[in-house]
Amino acid sequence: MTESNHCNRILITGVAGVVGRILFNYLTKKSSNKYQVFGIDRHKNVSTRYEKQNPENLPIETIPPLSDEHFFQCDITDKQKLFELIEQLQIDTIIHLAAILEDHPDKDHLYRINIQGAQNVFEASSLFTLSIFLTINLFY
């Protein structure tokens, strides 16, 4: 593949979250000729927050499951596994959406995911010379 027709390989962290899953589905449907999209999260099932945030029971689009070839179970606090996946998948861009959004009683857990996990993503972007789009909603 020449440089001019190179497909940008995107990794979305937090792909089991509502925003991560919707973005994953949008990019794979609308721009499959421009992007190869992969997702990581600690679990594969979409967040229950999606249904909870629809109190009026408005018609909402069903979020389809991720394919096994594009989803990898990985906690962003596991730096070694994160770095191995980035290298193995030849990622060009990371969209970092992984975070614990609610006020969690275990502050160490919040720190580990929201701070140390984000730090691992930053380190990966530097080490592998990646583009990064970062959004953090911190509760700490």
**Distance between CA atoms of residues 1 and 19, nearest Å:** 31
What is the pLDDT, as a whole number, of residue 2?
Answer: 42
For residue range 35-86, what is the model confidence (pLDDT) as tens digits? 999 999 998 777 665 555 555 665 556 667 778 889 999 999 999 999 999 9
Question: Is the model's pLDDT at 139 over the cut of 80?
Answer: no
Instruction: Break the chain into its structural domains and give their ranges.
Output: 3-134
DSSP-assigned beta bridge partners for residue 93: 10, 131
Tokens of 72: 């990898």
Q: Architecture of domain 3-134 in CATH?
A: 3-Layer(aba) Sandwich (3.40)
Tokens of 129: 């010379």
For residue range 78-128, what is the model confidence (pLDDT) as tens digits? 999 999 999 999 999 999 999 887 777 788 888 888 889 999 998 998 899
Q: Calculate ∠ Cα 125-47-103, nearest 5°.
A: 80
What is the pLDDT, as a whole number, of residue 1?
Answer: 41
